[in-house]
Structure 1
Amino acid sequence: METEQIPAAASVPRQQSRRPKDIPVPTRLLDRAGALWALLMERPVSLYAASMLRIGYGLLYLAFLLREFPNRDTIWGPDSPWTPELAKELFSQTGWSSVLTLSGNHAYFEICYTSAVLVSALFALGWRTRAMSVLFAVVVASFHARAILMTDGGDNLVLLMSVYLVFTACGRRWSLDSRRARLRSPGGGSPRRANIRRWTVRKASGPLHPFAAARETVTVVLHNCAMLVIAGQLCVLYGSAGLYKVQGGTWGNGTALHYVLNLDLFRPWPALSQLADGHAMLIAVIGYLTVLVQVAFPFALFSRLKYPVLVMLLGMHAGIAVLMGLPLFSGAMIIADATFLPDRFYRSLGARGRQALHALRTTGRASGAAVPREDPALHT
Structure 2
Amino acid sequence: MDFSLNDEQQMLADLVARFVERQYDFETRRRLAESPRGWSEENWSALAETGLLALGLDEQYGGLGAGAEEILVVMEAFGRGLVLEPYLASALVGSTLLQRVAGTSLQERILPALASGEQRISLAALEPQARFDLWEVACEARQVDGGFRLNGRKSVVAHGDSADWLIVSARTAGARDDHYGISLFLVDARAPGVSVRGFPGLDGQRVAEVELRNVTVAADALLGREHLALVELEWAADQACFALCAEAVGCMSRLTELTVEYLQTRKQFGKPIGSFQALQHRVAEMLGLVEQARSITCFAAANLHNEQADQRVRAVSAAKALIGRSARLIGQQAIQLHGGMGMTDELAVGWYCKRLTVIDMSWGDSDHHVERYGALM
TM-score band by shorter chain is: 0.3 to 0.5
Find the structure with the greater CA-based Rg: 1
Normalising by structure 2, we get a TM-score of: 0.34
More helix by share: 1
Query: Which has the higher relative contact order, 1 or 2, with Cα contacts under 8 A spaced 6 or more apart?
Result: 1
Normalising by structure 1, we get a TM-score of: 0.34
More strand by share: 2
